[in-house]
Structures are given as C-alpha cells and as structure tokens.
Amino acid sequence: MNRLLLVLIPLLLTLPIGISHSQTQDATTRQSGVVRLRARVKLSDSAPLRGLARKRFFLIPGSLEQNRALVEAIERQPLVTRDCYYSKHGASPALIAWLKEADCESVYCRDVEQDYVAGPKAVPEFATAFAASEKEFGNAATARKWLTTNVPANLRDGFYRDRKSVIDALLKQAPAGAVQSVMTDRNGTAFFTDLAPGTYVITNLIPTELGQSLATWNCELQIKNDDLAAEKPYLISNRKDRLVKCVAIEKPAPPCQ
Amino acid sequence: MKLGFYILVLIWLQPGAVDYTKFSHSTPKHKSACITCHKIPTKDWTKASAFPDIVDYPDHNACVSCHRPQFFRGARPPICSVCHVKTSPRDEARLAFRNPASKLQFTIEFPHDRHQDVIALRHANPWRSRLLAHAAPQQNFNNCTICHAPAAAVSTPPAGGWLDAYAPPAATFKAAPSDHSSCFSCHWKSQEPVATNCNGCHKLATPYVAAAIPARISLKFMHDGGGEKKQHVAECTTCHINITKSATSRGLKPDVPITACTECHNKDGLRQDLNTELAALDKNRAFTCVYCHTSNVGKLDAPASHFLIAQRPQFKRR
C-alpha cells in the first residue's frame, strides 16, 4: 500500500479534494506536472542529515544552457551572511544572538518576550523601541506587541529586503511571469504544482547559509506529461548520494568586512 | 417611445434622484486619499479599541464640504442615514463602524509569500523541543499562527439553518485575522503599506456580501481536531501546498490534496474511512458520504482522486 501511495501521490496532488468528475477529465489537458522537492543537508561531516526548513526555491522554465546568463549572475553575486549584515548595520551582539537563537532572518519571526525588553537578557534595540512604543501607545501590552514599529528599518527587516531586491534583480533575467517559487516546510519538503511539460532549472537564487558555508543549487530537471519520474521526491542536498539529484555548490562564507 | 426615454433620462439627471442614503467609495469624488476623510487612529480610539485603529466614521467636515445642500434638506436629510442611526439633528448616535448591514466595497490584497519569507522561523524553539519532546507538536510551524487562530465562538447558522443539522464546532474555522490588529502591529507607521496607506491592502471592488462562513467541501474537517487526541497537528503547509507560492489572497484556493487526509484516514492498520464509504457507495448508489462531507457534497459522485487513492475502479452513481 505504501509503495503504491508513493506512486500515486504526485498524481493525486493535482486533484484537490472534491474535484468533480468533469474537472478531472480536464486534468489530462492542463498543466498538471508536480515536483515534490525534498531538501536535506548536513552542516558538517559529522552532523546528521536533516531537512532544510523554510528555504525558498525557484523553478525557472528552460535548460541550464538557456538560463546561462541567470546562472552566471547567481554565481557572481556578492555574498553577505546574516550575522555580517546585522553587524555592519550596528546591531548589538544581543540582537544578533536573539535572531540566531531561532534562526530568524528578521525581528518579525518570533514574539519579543518581556525578558528581552528589560532585565539581564534585554536586547538594547528592543528596550529602546519598547520605551518609544509605550510613550506612543500609552500601555505596555500594545507597546510590546507593536514594538517592531519602533525598531529601525535596517535592523527590522533590512536583511530580508536586501535579499529580496537581489532576487527581484535576478528574476528579471528569467522568463517573465513563468517562475514558480515555494518555501520548504520543517521537513525540507515543498511542492511545485501545475507545471507544463518541459525542462526547468531548480535554484535557490541566493546562497543558503549552512554553518560556515554557503550553498547554491542550480540544477536541470525534466517534467513530462503523466511523468511518473516524480513518484519519488526530487532530492537535493549538499552531500552526494545515489538518491540525490541535485548537489549544492558550497563555498566558505566570506569574511565580514 | 423616444419621449419616454428622455423623461427617464431627465428624472435620472435630477439632483434629487441620487440616493444619498448609500455611500460608495467608487464615486469619482470619493476617490481622494483615504486620510482626507478617515483619520488614523480615530479620535478617542481608546474608548472602542485595545489598539490604535479606525473605529468610527469620518467627521461631518468630510461630507459637508461637498454635500452642504443635502445636509440641510428637510427635517430628516437622507444623507445622515449613511452614518447615523436616526436621521435627526437631535440624535448623534452612529451606526456600528463598519456597518455590518452594508455591502463590502473592498477586497484585501495580501501576499502570503512575502509574509512567510519575512516571518519564517527556521526551526522550532530548541528548548521546547527538548523539554516537551513527548508532547504533541503545536500547529505554529511556519509561523502561520502569528496571524491565524481558530474561531473562539461557534459560527452563526446560515439562513435556513445548518445543512443536515450539522453545526460545525468553533474550532472548525480559522477566524483570525479579522481586524487591523494583525496588520498594524507591523504596518503601523514605517513598514509599508502603513496604516494611512489604506489602498496598500484595500482594493476597490464591486460591492459584495461577505460569506457568513468560508466555503468548505469537507465541512466536518476541523483544523484543531483529530479526535480526542487532537491529531490534526500537521504543519499548515503540509496540507496547503500552494500557500507559500501565493502572491495574493485573491482567488486563493485551499489546494489540499486528498493524500493529506488519507495518510491517516485510509491507511492499513490504522483507519479505512475512505474505503468504508466507497464500499458502501458501491453497494448502494444512493449512499451519502458523511464522514467528511455534509450531504450537499456527500451525495455527489465521488471524484477520481478518491478512487485512485483507495485503489478502486471508478464508478458513477447512475
């Protein structure tokens, strides 16, 4: 049963619950390809293989050769790590540690608990923002919940915006309106759906920080009509293995200057 | 015939023929910057809200500058009824803001993909993982719960009552976000679109009546359900597989593949809920599938996906 499920899942993914019979007839003529992406990485040789959670991947129509200019641009781009970005923008060590604790890229990814506003664990940026918010909103509860409205923009989500502008610039070199992007879940799984048959490049566009290195994936894959090649996950990793279809190019993280 | 047409046009052109009891944001002269009329936050917001918000209609100034003649027309100027409970200069009581009886004039623009990028928490709190390894994981992966929360109260029954007398429990639906509190906590003054930039999220649309409850194919599914053990604890994106690529909430579909259900509900040695109902349907083509569905859906032909996953030949009721 489980084996059969593996074969059927990609097909079934194109059929939402409750789809009518007449709609399923149309499924054969529409874009119905599916890629079940599974990203698993090792942070070091001794570390266990684990799902790469919450990373955005892009599926770009065309072969590597057809997207050569884009792939070269991806490989040429300057790399700035998260810690380096925040250091360069004057973040306190406490803020950098707070972000690192939950692997956050912005201050929006977790609640700012009272411990980080005042007391020995306080993050200076949060303490300052809280004081301003309390003055503005008149009560401590709103001040803490709305604290990020008084954090300077660069320290709030500047790292995300910087990366977004790099992605937007890179995507200008891709076929307009034809790029899909999805984010992996906590197990490193994500689905690209409604794909037309053809050749695609799967890429993360901007390098992923894996411990002390940066990993970039740029691989070609094929989607065919009624393609059962998708019956198994499309496995990508930073380690070679017979099941891995796309291996990352890893580079040491550059020194922060 | 022609004369009749001209009379109709003349009647239509008469200033008095305009229905001033209805306010439309689509009227060309009502399309100024939102803060021309709506002050953010509203004066005395603390009396009506726990957070700075727009909690009341604009002041008279917003209307009088153009509508002075309508303000002083008769003892009960119709224009007053846009905001006021009674059209009388002696009664200042206003309708609830916004008036639940009026149609919605805007849709919401919300890019899920950007929000997920910026709020993504790459791994769960490590301390929680260590201390509560035995406990069921919470549904807060991907940080969806920053904005989304189960309804606290049971939904109001639709006109005519609940189908099959099945009243969905409160936790069936996600009720938040339902107001500005989820948005303004980040988008108050410096993170665009900011609170004064209403148009950043609210897009003018053809007026519509909001559905009382969300459309559901499997009404009996509960996000926080899964029986007494509350086993519906999967990560939101495990089932809603297209959410992370959604750049807007317009036309957003749940996109839940049947495999999201049958991994538990049609598994050897575990449960056979789908198989059981398809077998019953095979025996009796009038059978109504009720495990997941109410009868409006359960009496339809089962879709191909259901037969495929249950490894049964597909058939129709008739």
How far apart, in whole angstroms, are the C-alpha atoms of residue B44 and residue B56?
A: 9
Give pLDDT, residue A222.
Answer: 92
**A106·B118 Cβ contact <8 A:** yes
Tell me: pLDDT of A112 over 80: yes
Q: How confident is the model at residue A153 (pLDDT cuts 50, 70, 90)?
A: very high
pLDDT band (50, 70, 90) for residue A20? very low
State the smallest CA–CA distance between residue B285 and chain A in angstroms. Answer: 16
Instruction: Give first-to-last CA distance, chain A, whole Å.
Output: 56
Write out chain A residues lying below 8 Å of B257, CB-based: 9, 12-17
% of residues, chain B, pLDDT over 70:
86
The ipTM value here is 0.81
* Residue type at position A48: P
- Of A192-196, B139-143, B235-239, least confident by mean pLDDT is B139-143
**Greater model confidence, A5 or B293:** B293
Percentage of residues in chain B having pLDDT higher than 90: 41
Check: CB of residue B303 under 8 Å from CB of residue A15. yes
Residues B109 and B204: beta-carbon distance below 8 Å: no
* Confidence label for B6 from pLDDT (cuts 50, 70 and 90): low
What distance in Å separates the CA atoms of residue A13 and residue A11, rounded to the nearest whole number? 5
Beta bridge partners of B92: none
Which residue in the block uniquely carries the two structure tokens 């929680």? Answer: B128
Smallest Cα distance from B13 to chain A, Å = 46
Q: Give the model confidence (pLDDT) of B241-281 as tens digits.
A: 888 887 766 656 667 888 888 888 998 888 999 999 999 99
Torsions phi, psi of B202, nearest 5?
-95, 115
The answer to whether the bond into B41 is cis (omega within 30° of 0) is yes
- Average pLDDT for A65-73: 95
Q: Hey, what's the torsion of the CAs at B41, B43, B47, B52, to 10 degrees?
A: 10
Q: Which element (helix H / strand E) includes B273?
A: helix B273-283
Q: What pLDDT shows up at residue B95?
A: 93
Looking at per-residue pLDDT, the higher value among B13 and A71 belongs to A71
CB A164 to CB B242 under 8 A?
no
Pairing state between β A213-216 and A249-252 = antiparallel
CA distances, A118 to each of A13, A123, A131, A139 (Å): 48, 8, 10, 16
Between A10 and A189, name the one with better pLDDT. Answer: A189
What digits encode the pLDDT tens for the residues B36-48? 999 999 988 888 8
Confidence of residue B136 (pLDDT cuts 50, 70, 90): very low
Question: CB–CB of A19 and B303 under 8 A?
Answer: yes
Termini Cα distance of chain B? 54
Q: Given the DSSP bridges, would you call strands A234-237 and A246-247 parallel, antiparallel or unpaired?
A: parallel
Residue with tokens 């399923």: A24
Q: Locate A181 and state its tokens.
A: 């992007």
Three-state SS at B6: helix
* Residue A207 pLDDT > 90: yes
Evaluate whether A170 touches A205 at the Cβ level (below 8 Å): yes
Residue A107 has pLDDT above 70, yes or no: yes
Residue B248 has what pLDDT? 67
pLDDT, position A12: 46
CB B314 within 8 A of CB B303: no
Residue in B121, B217, B259 nearest the CB of A54: B121
Residues 6+ apart with CB under 8 A from A111: none
Chain A from 116 to 175: CB within 8 A of any B CB? 137-138, 141-142, 145-146, 148-149, 153, 156-157, 160, 164
pLDDT at B130 over 70: no
Which segment, A23-37, A122-136, B129-143, is predicted with the most confidence on average? A122-136
Residue B313, number of CB atoms within 10 A of its CB? 6
Task: Identify which has the larger pLDDT, A242 or B126.
Answer: A242
Beta partners for residue A56, in sequence order:
A183
Whole-number average pLDDT of chain B: 83
Greater confidence, A231 or A197? A197
Please check the confidence at residue B7 and state whether its pLDDT lies above 70: no
At residue B129, does pLDDT exceed 80?
no
At residue A111's C-alpha, the angle toward residues A109 and A115, to 5°, is 130
Grade residue A227 by pLDDT with cuts at 50, 70 and 90.
low
Give the closest-approach CA distance of A160 to chain B in angstroms: 6
More confident position, B279 or B2: B279
The span from the CA of B290 to the CA of B311, in Å, is: 20
| pLDDT higher than 70, residue A24 | no
Please tell me whether the peptide bond between A186 and the residue prior to it is cis, using omega within 30 degrees of 0.
no
Residue found under tokens 């690192």: A100
pLDDT band with cut points at 50, 70 and 90 for residue A68 = very high
Query: How much is the average pLDDT of A146-175?
Result: 94
- Spell out the residues 6+ positions from residue B32 whose beta carbon is closer than 8 angstroms to its own: none
Q: Which residues in chain A are closer than 8 Å to B298, comparing Cβ atoms? A: none
What are the two backbone dihedrals, phi and then psi, of residue B192, each rounded to the nearest 5 degrees? -70, 150
Residue B116 has pLDDT above 60, yes or no: yes
Residues of B in contact with A7 (CB under 8 A): none
pLDDT tens per residue across span B52-90: 999 999 999 999 989 999 988 888 899 999 999 988 777
Cβ-Cβ contacts under 8 Å for A87 (sequence gap 6 or more): A96, A256
Q: How much is the average pLDDT of B94-115?
A: 90
Which one, of B301, B253, B286, lies nearest residue A21 by Cα? B301
Chain B 233-262, residues with CB within 8 Å of chain A CB atoms: 235, 237-238, 241-242, 244-245, 253-259, 261
Of A5, A19, A102, the CB nearest to B305: A19
